[in-house]
Amino acid sequence: STPTNKNSNKRKKSCTRFTDRNKKQKNTEAVKKCTDEGHFEILKPVLSADTPPLSFFSSQEKHFPPLLATVSRPLSESSTPTNKNSNKRKKSRARFTDRNKKQKNREAVKKYTKENPKLNKECVKRYNKKKPEVHKECVKRCRKKKLEIMMESVNTNTVLNDSVMSESINTSQNTVLNDRERAVLPWKKLENSAFHYNPDISYETNAYVSIGSMSLECTHCHALKWKGESPGLCCCSGKVKLEPLLEPPQPLYDLLTGTEDRSKEFLSNIRSYNSAFQMTSFGAQIVSEGNFMPTFKIQGQCYHLAGSLMPLPESQPRFLQIYFMGDETLEINQRCNNFPHIQPDIVHDLQFMLHQHNSYIQSFKSAMEKQTSDNYKVIINADKRPVQEHAGRFNSPSTNEVAILIVGQQFEKRDIVLESRNDGLKRVSELHRAYDALQYPLLYPRGEDGYCINIPQYDPKSSQFHSKNTVSAIEFYAYRLMIRRNEENHLHLFKNLSNQYWVDVYAKAETERLNWYRNNQKTLRADNYNELKDALEKDGHVQNVGQMVVLPATFTGGPRYMHERMQDAMTYVRKFGRPDLFVTFTCNPKWSEVSDYLFPGQQSHDRHDIVCRVFRLKVNSLMKLIVKGQVFGTVICHMYSFEWQKRGLPHVHILLWLEKKLSPNEIDSIIRAEIPDPSSDPILHNIIVKNMIHGPCGALNRSSPCMKDRKCSKRYPRGFTSVTKTGDDGYPTYMRRSPEEGGLSVQIKVRGGMVTIDNRWVVPYCPLLSRVFNAHINVEFCNSVKSIKYLCKYINKGSDQAAFALKNERDEIERYQVGRYISTSEAIFRIFAFNIHSRSPAVEQLSVHLENGQRVYFNERNVADRISNPPNTTLTAFFKLCQIDDFAKTLLYHEVPTYYTWRDNCFHRRKQGSVVPQYPGIRQSNALGRVYTVHPHHSECYHLRLLLHKIRGPTCFQDLKIANGVRCDTFQATCRALGMLEDDNHWHETMTDAAISESPAMMRDLFVIIIGFCHISDPLLLWEKHKDKLTEDIFFELRQRFPDIPVQQDDRVYCKGLICIENKLFSLTSKTLAQFGFPPLQRDPLQLLESEYLRETSYNVEESRKFVEENEGKLASEQGIAYLDILKSVDQREGKLFFLDAPGGTGKTFLINLILAKMRSNKQIAVAVASSGIAATLLEGGRTAHAAFKLPLNLGFSESPTCNIKKGTAVAKVLTDASIIIWDECTMSHKGGLDALDRTLRDRGSSWEV
């Protein structure tokens, strides 16, 4: 810092940069520049362990001059002398050459650490807290390079915390050593590698599937992103520019970031603390799944309500009214009375903070103090901005945020108008800027503005805001979700309150979009072109023409949208056949990519933003591995859809169509359902045990989410199988060897105890995918699944919906909005505008309509233009294409999208794809066309669709009426002339075509139309050929409800299907199936399909027999006597009544369950009931007597009570076929219940044979 020549003005000028006045600032800037350029990479492991950030050293120069000299200038400059002729400069710079730079830095750090241990540790603690991602990355790198140091630290920690650390330390140590000792091989060839899994290959470290780290920085808003994320994810490539949120004031910030008990108590009850201070009420139906709920979930609409400023006389203050009670102690007491479990001292501190910093509270007080009258109104303008601020800036509101409403003054609908005293509640507009701040005062303690509709977009090129283009709610909150360098986003620190907030704001954003559809119903109408033209030619009014258009298929997640996707899936089935693999990929919240970016003290369910972003990147990597990497071979078609579990974790369902179909011998190569050997493959063993074990459920865990009617809805545990077996229907039965055959078992912890799990509990998996992604990835071979449309419908079913009734059943928007469920994970996923559905190849929907029968969208302004120039449809454009393109004349209608693209209401030749032989200007893609289906009830349009699949290259509608050179009058006549209607073949083709895409219920309706109105020659043959498809839903529902029953599509299933058809047929034609040649129906078999009967016949015979064999020998002498007497009476049909009495704890329940198992092992019906629900749970298959026997509720008021059981029902059939009825604790039941059952069974007018 001293010039070599005092007489040199040039040297003096250059040295002014290093004066004492600005030396510290320049040092800090130099350190930051060097750090950003990666010059201090070698210091990171050391810093993460013992030292503060580099920026701290510049402020501690007197303690650390060697390091300060190093970081004062960028290394690129310090390594090169500025004056080659200056020996003195060369000598001073020699210390910083590349040869000894690393050594000097280390020595300086070591010296400083040793001399200032206390100060250093405090700095390290503060740095780790503010930069957790850097700290974790450094620790991870240090652990990898310095294994011996890590092991020494582990041993030291073990001595200090032996009881807590022993088990985890041993596991970690063994895993690390095993991984290091194993000679891993690189993953070189991806193609078909799933068929050749090798435990020695390091699949998980391959760069092809790595998502990297969140280290890329947006050039516009400085948001941190992963390399696979889109540039516009954070700020729409610079179009969104918002002011950063200020750090929360004290003591709120300390409560959010502290580690003491006070902070933990605050964070665990943070929603209650926010509710104690919120100024509006939160309206929504909150969904709780019971037990642990790591997300926030609502059902239906979400809204905020605001009351008056002052309470009515004799009413307790609520919400905003509490702020104006006038006494600090009264305010605290009122809030603590409303929420008894919150701490008064924390309430006191937060209350003082809000009164001091919140602009809305200050403005309300200021406005109220100026009023002399007790009757006034206060308004919060929806679009008010701080005075003298740019239009794009939205800082904390100024102190004058509210105004007194003058009588007669006009205000916007979105403005919030609060009366001084009123008992009503007013809904706060979702588009009001104060919507967030009033509901979440802890998130916005200064009253910062939230989203409103007039936030302008920013043009990064001109550096100006555009008033015409505004920021949407989705764009606004996506910006707020991101993490930015050197900017702490405190919205992510509020745990459960943050979860609620993101659900709330997404519901607001979706409501904004739905309101647009609703508000445009009055101007946007649709009708057939010819009907519109006729109506207006007769001087009709536009308002009286057309039908409402609500919630179209373009609304992502709506019912029409999901139906379109399901139809696309069936198009793939029609083209490529059944899919080969069905993959379900569930997010693992313990991924290092998630945990590395959590703030201290957070868990994955506190940061759904990180979970969603990482999972989406993982799914992209999975699809890249499968489609481009071809680990299963060439994939010709795929489709996937995102869903969310009831407890919040996202998962994705994937269907894959492979070019080379899998043979039965190849299934075991890619799909396993066994626990891996820990000695030969310890990594995969740990992954499978942690991620691919179902439950356990059943007797091991009755509270498992999969339990329905005391049985596992997923049919676990499965049976042992020595080899994999495939069938004509359903998934294969995968190999699951028993311990006697060499199968493995493991001990896992369930509800505080250890249980043994074997191969029966393993979910089928692919070893390669599980190894790569370390998550729950269920892989199933589905080419043998018969009901494939249910598989396609399952992955396109969309989000959960509630069942309800509406006054206006035609209001699709209300039906969707009221019935939807929104969880935090889904809300954030949708705020980021991630696609919830993807498919390849593309499917182009092709319209079909009669001449001038296309749908026309119009309003009052453009109706005349629509009449004179109706827009093209894909069908009319196809006709025009055939008039000018010779190649198009060789195509059928549904083949056009393969060679042409639909753009600007016209078909254009594709510019990409493979060249078609003999047509050098034509290129072929893998895109498919799907012609919309038409109901046979629309006869002409239906036959037009048949002709479009038959005749190539028509140039107009009239060309489709030409058959053998003769023009026919109708399309139906053309079909008949072409021989398409000579016999019933076209009806068989119609049913076959419908079976691919339509539900069985719709197929039954189609069947009724065909046999009732289309004069089919052999209806019975049509039934026999398609009866499996017509009753598929009945069979599918039966198997889903009772998975343990080996049900077949037999006469019982067909009978129920025919009854459904006959009911529909009779309602339309007043005819029965017998009049069409069908044999008379026996409706009694329906009883055998009802849940009551199937419930008593669905017990696992093998398990019951095993239970009997294991426990018969354990009976005491008196128990054995009762056991044999009862079974003898049942076998000989003696019809005796037994009364079993014994003291508590002597084994009555054990004996009863053994009798039940014995009866069920012989496939006999044994009805078990009890007087109470608790007692019923002790019996296998037990229920309360009221539920089983339909006992009346008013037993004490009826002289002759009877059971509410009708003749011919399934319950009656159960009692008729029952071999024994066991009523536990019958003495605790009302005497009238026994009389009612006895009277019902003795009913001589009954047809029962009791």
Residue 632 · residue 194 · CB < 8 Å: yes
Share of the chain above pLDDT 70, in %: 68
What's the pLDDT at 1244?
41
Cβ neighbours of 451 (radius 10 Å): 25
Give the range among 271-280, 604-613, 994-1003 with minimum mean pLDDT: 994-1003
- Mean pLDDT along residues 774-792: 77
Residue 148 has pLDDT above 60, yes or no: no
Picking from 111, 145, 179, the residue at the C-terminal end of a domain is 145
Give the range among 164-173, 281-290, 400-409, 1162-1171 with minimum mean pLDDT: 400-409
Residue 1040 Cα distances to 586, 708, 784, 795, 1219, angstroms: 22, 11, 17, 16, 27
What's the pLDDT at 235?
92
On whether residue 478 sits in a domain, the answer given is yes
- Mean pLDDT along residues 662-676: 91
What's the pLDDT at 14?
46
Residue 96, phi-psi category: left (phi > 0), alpha (psi -120 to 50), beta (remainder): alpha
Share of the chain above pLDDT 90, in %: 22
What's the pLDDT at 1102?
82
Residue 185 · residue 202 · CB < 8 Å: yes
Pair (486, 344) in one structural domain = yes
Cβ neighbours of 426 (radius 10 Å): 16
C-alpha 845, offset from chain centre: 27
14-23, 1066-1075, 1081-1090 — which one is most confidently predicted on average?
Answer: 1066-1075
Residue 908 has pLDDT above 80, yes or no: yes
Q: Which two tokens stand for residue 142?
A: 């240090």
What's the pLDDT at 267?
92
Give the pLDDT band (50/70/90) at residue 1221: very high
What's the pLDDT at 224?
93
Q: Which two tokens stand for residue 429?
A: 């507009």
Give the range among 454-458, 474-478, 792-796, 896-900 with minimum mean pLDDT: 792-796
10 Å CB burial of residue 1046 (0-12, 13-18, 19+) is exposed
Sorted by sequence, the CB contacts under 8 Å of residue 118 that are 6+ apart come out as: none
- SS3 label, residue 915: strand
Q: Which two tokens stand for residue 641?
A: 């859809």
Nearest in space to 585 (alpha carbons), one of 671, 683, 654, 672: 654
275-284, 309-318, 567-576, 1190-1199 — which one is most confidently predicted on average?
Answer: 567-576
Pair (321, 464) in one structural domain = yes
Pair (726, 654) in one structural domain = yes
Residue 918, phi-psi category: left (phi > 0), alpha (psi -120 to 50), beta (remainder): left
Q: What is the 3-state secondary structure (H, E, C) of 712-764?
A: ECCCCCCCCECCCECCCCCCCECCECCHHHCCCCEEEEECCEEEEECHHHECC
Residue 614 has pLDDT above 70, yes or no: yes
- Mean pLDDT along residues 764-793: 82
Residue 75 · residue 96 · CB < 8 Å: yes
What's the pLDDT at 665?
85
Pair (645, 764) in one structural domain = yes
| Bigger pLDDT: 107 vs 263 | 263
- Mean pLDDT along residues 1170-1193: 81
Nearest in space to 925 (alpha carbons), one of 947, 954, 902: 902
Pair (596, 737) in one structural domain = yes
Residue 9 has pLDDT above 60, yes or no: no
96-110, 520-534, 845-859 — which one is most confidently predicted on average?
Answer: 845-859
Give the range among 346-360, 409-423, 615-629, 776-790 with minimum mean pLDDT: 409-423
The alpha carbons of the chain give a radius of gyration, in whole angstroms, of: 37
Cβ neighbours of 389 (radius 10 Å): 12
Pair (342, 412) in one structural domain = yes
Picking from 743, 767, 800, the residue at the C-terminal end of a domain is 800
Give the pLDDT band (50/70/90) at residue 540: very low
| Bigger pLDDT: 266 vs 1205 | 266
Residue 1232 has pLDDT above 80, yes or no: yes
Give the pLDDT band (50/70/90) at residue 866: low
Picking from 130, 145, 160, the residue at the C-terminal end of a domain is 145
Pair (1103, 1076) in one structural domain = no
Residue 1048 Cα distances to 265, 410, 1098, angstroms: 57, 71, 14
What's the pLDDT at 875?
93
Give pLDDT tens digits for 1138-1162.
998 888 778 888 889 899 998 888 8
Give pLDDT tens digits for 923-976.
999 999 999 888 777 778 888 998 999 999 999 999 999 988 899 988 988 988
Residue 1084 has pLDDT above 70, yes or no: no
Pair (1104, 1073) in one structural domain = no
Residue 4 has pLDDT above 50, yes or no: no
Parallel, antiparallel, or unpaired: how do β-strands 1165-1170 and 1218-1224 relate? parallel
Pair (1079, 1142) in one structural domain = no
Give the range among 191-195, 676-680, 694-698 with minimum mean pLDDT: 694-698
What's the pLDDT at 817?
62
Cβ neighbours of 290 (radius 10 Å): 9
- Mean pLDDT along residues 28-57: 48
What's the pLDDT at 406?
35
Residue 642 has pLDDT above 80, yes or no: yes
What's the pLDDT at 1160?
87
Give the range among 234-238, 506-510, 892-896 with minimum mean pLDDT: 506-510
Give the pLDDT band (50/70/90) at residue 910: very high
On whether residue 946 sits in a domain, the answer given is no
What's the pLDDT at 762?
94
On whether residue 761 sits in a domain, the answer given is yes
Looking at the 3D structure of the chain, how many domains does it have? 6
On whether residue 112 sits in a domain, the answer given is yes
Quote the CA–CA distance of 641 and 562 in Å, as a whole number.
Answer: 10
CATH number where 1231 lies: 3.40.50
On whether residue 198 sits in a domain, the answer given is no
| Bigger pLDDT: 1095 vs 1065 | 1065
Range of the domain at 680: 563-800
Phi, psi of 306 (to 5 degrees): -120, 140
Quote the CA–CA distance of 536 and 524 in Å, as a whole number.
Answer: 17
Residue 994 has pLDDT above 90, yes or no: no
Give the pLDDT band (50/70/90) at residue 857: low
Give pLDDT tens digits for 1040-1049.
666 555 555 5
Pair (790, 856) in one structural domain = no
What's the pLDDT at 697?
85
Q: Please identify which residue in the block is written with the tokens 């007043």.
A: 1070
Quote the CA–CA distance of 1202 and 1222 in Å, as a whole number.
Answer: 19
On whether residue 98 sits in a domain, the answer given is yes
On whether residue 977 sits in a domain, the answer given is no
Residue 25 has pLDDT above 70, yes or no: no
448-452, 653-657, 1098-1102, 1207-1211 — which one is most confidently predicted on average?
Answer: 653-657
Residue 75 has pLDDT above 50, yes or no: no
Give the pLDDT band (50/70/90) at residue 132: low
Give the pLDDT band (50/70/90) at residue 194: very high
Q: What is the mean pLDDT of the chain?
A: 76
On whether residue 805 sits in a domain, the answer given is no
Pair (362, 491) in one structural domain = yes
Pair (1028, 1139) in one structural domain = no
Give the pLDDT band (50/70/90) at residue 362: confident
Give pLDDT tens digits for 379-438.
555 555 433 333 333 333 333 444 333 333 333 444 454 544 555 556 677 777 888 888
Q: Report which DSSP code applies to 698.
A: B
Quote the CA–CA distance of 476 and 236 in Å, as a whole number.
Answer: 10
Nearest in space to 836 (alpha carbons), one of 588, 610, 562: 562
What's the pLDDT at 786?
57
